[in-house]
Amino acid sequence: SHGRLKFLPSNMCKRRRLYVEFGDVGWQKWVIAPRGYFANYCQGECPYPLTDVLNGSNHAILQTLAHSFEPNDVPLPCCIPIKMSPISVLFYDNGDNVVLKHYENMSVDECGC
Amino acid sequence: REIMLLRNLGLPSRPKPVSPPHVPSILWKLFNQRMGPSTAKKNANLCFVEDFNVPGSTVRAISDQGRFVNPHSTNPTTTVCLEKRLFFNISIMEKEERVTMGRLEVRFGQNTYYGRLFDLRLYRITQLSLKGMGNQKMSRKLLTAQTFRLLHKSLYFNLTETCQSWQDPRKNLGLTLEISPRKEGSLLAGQLDECQGIQTFLYTSLLAVTLDSAQCTMSRAKR
């Protein structure tokens, strides 16, 4: 449900699904809810030329251009989260209190170059 | 590495709950409003708690660490049925957090429509007595006094201002809760069942809402 659907080759920069289960990282004894959440991540190439679907920033466009002139000195732009959303976590703290806290930038919604 | 990650999430270390309390229904409700399947996640304002109509990004149900006091130990003629110290450790809050709401819940195990009347007094302790001196050197300030009948299982009290001042740990000396029977015309003083109903007292809990100013920047009102 997050972001637009983009039909990109598999090696291109895009959001990849990653479900983090708190039990898998050993936090299940103090995290009450959720059991896990879609954290997701960004991975892929940002090749020349940057098309719209790759969500290239102005900086990335110029870096791509510079890379085409100096491929050994200037790397291609990298693939990073450009839109993230918060999640709320219900947990026990060290004083046996129940805490409901919201954390910013926990889930990757969109990626870009 | 894990400790570093936890610190980024505002936790000094991995929490190790010893006797985890039940999760209050209000916290489940708030969690489901924010994270439930029908939530419009994109539009959710996670810096405002609509149920209490206050700004806030963190809601805590803080356990009471106070002890019961035998009211007859210091005053054998007292009519007080229940006396309890209340202490809520709010030093767990981070420095950036500002308390926007504090609500004390006094919970009983049952309610009775025809239950008798009680007087409740809640004091804020302003100076503690030395060990062994009893209540004689303890000074306290009356926060609230009310008469109640056990029509509902819970009584609620607004402690927002008190919690705000407790953010200075030197000022957090706790509270005293006293419940005594109200003398009604048909009842004689000294009756054995004067305290009947109060034995169902279960616990007290503090619900605190805080706003992290670094996390929640308030947008300016539109002109």
Q: How many CB pairs under 8 A join A and B?
A: 83
Please tell me the predicted confidence (pLDDT) of residue B41. 54
The beta-carbon neighbor of B15 closest among A86, A92, A100 is: A92
Kindly report the number of other CB atoms within 10 A of residue B142's CB atom. 10
Note whether B99 and B160 are within 8 A (CB).
yes
Which tens digits make up the pLDDT trace of B3-32? 888 888 888 888 988 888 889 999 999 999
Give this complex's ipTM: 0.82
Q: B100 CA to chain A: closest CA distance, Å? A: 14
Instruction: Assign A2 a pLDDT band (cuts: 50, 70, 90).
Output: very low
pLDDT at A24 over 50: yes
Euclidean distance between CA atoms B56 and B215, whole angstroms:
10
The beta-carbon neighbor of B27 closest among A93, A96, A98 is: A98
Which tens digits make up the pLDDT trace of B188-213? 455 556 777 787 888 899 999 999 87
Question: How long, in residues, is chain B?
Answer: 223
Please tell me the predicted confidence (pLDDT) of residue A1. 42
Tokens standing for residue A25? 């990282």
Kindly report the number of other CB atoms within 10 A of residue B158's CB atom. 13
Percent of chain B with pLDDT over 90: 39
3-class DSSP state of B48 = strand
Among the ranges given (B7-11, B35-39, B68-72), the one the predictor scored with the smallest mean pLDDT: B35-39
Task: Give A33's contacts in chain B (Cβ within 8 Å).
Answer: 31, 35
Which tens digits make up the pLDDT trace of B125-171? 987 766 665 555 678 899 999 998 888 888 999 999 999 999 998 89
Task: Give B41's contacts in chain A (Cβ within 8 Å).
Answer: 85
